[in-house]
A and B are shown apart, each in its own frame.
Chain A
């Protein structure tokens, strides 16, 4: 077979032969193979646990961003009702960025859930095959002459080895994916650390560098729409009366999502 599956088969077969070989004595090969299989099963379990950890980390970040969205929305309302439209706009721009990040995180969490399910399925398949191999090896040991046993053993071991190699590749892809996501999650955390989602009312009037960058990140029409909507909700213009005090002292939960 050409191309794709030829390449794939070559890779898997190379892995299989690495997993197998050794041992002259068929009985020894059997036990060695079985031992390898059980080890691999443990690795898969660990791989699944890693994916779950990565997913939890993203979920924590999601809830932290969620809180920021609520907070920025409240701040925008407060700023607007006290007549500070520029601050309200800034808060909404940041909210917009946080929401975009939130959507992207959501997609990643779903992707990891997918990976997790696939690994669980693979682990199940491998476990059944190993169990079947365990039974088979006792039969082979008991029933066949050394030469014949050798052939049958190598067939069976290769079959299970292929499953092991396949699970190994699936784990490798899952690890690559979670690493990419971790890099992205770290970038979001940097945004938080840089004060992106901090209390906007603490800002001076001058635009800082973060603001200029955020303006590029956030969608202006969406921000304009939301600002207009908020204005009409607040019965615009009449921001002369009792200027409500802007909440302070509830700092952002930065760095909360931890580094394990």
Chain B
């Protein structure tokens, strides 16, 4: 085929593509199926706060999640069992659970009951035990969890603008998984008589 033929064919192809109807109605009316899934409150909720460009939120979330992991790792390494055992018992601050992650995967999905149970269980255990941690470590842990929750919140907002975005969905899942891992690590750290039975966060199905 000569170059001329190719251009000619390309032009004819473009013309043919341009003639295709953009609208192709479905063979059956899909409205009844859609209507059945419309929750009355969903679209009627108060208008969302104006968004920042989600790319910034996403970038911030990635940084926060990464930073959170590093902090947790260093926390677990430094504050080994002996220091925990020596730490005086103080009442657990209420702030650990005050801003617990909403158990929602994006604006339109629910997380699995298994995840919710594990999250609830780990949070409750940590509330009991956090008083055994040194104040500095406790502060870092609380900051760490708060950062993860802010990250999840930002990703959730971005997902609302880009529903179904695969990158955001994966990031949100990893953030939830990260939070479970932090909770589990903190519980292990604060366990008085060694780590007791607790949910294995690495095997939780989100």
- Co-complex (A, B): no
Give chain A's interface residues, CB within 8 Å of chain B: none
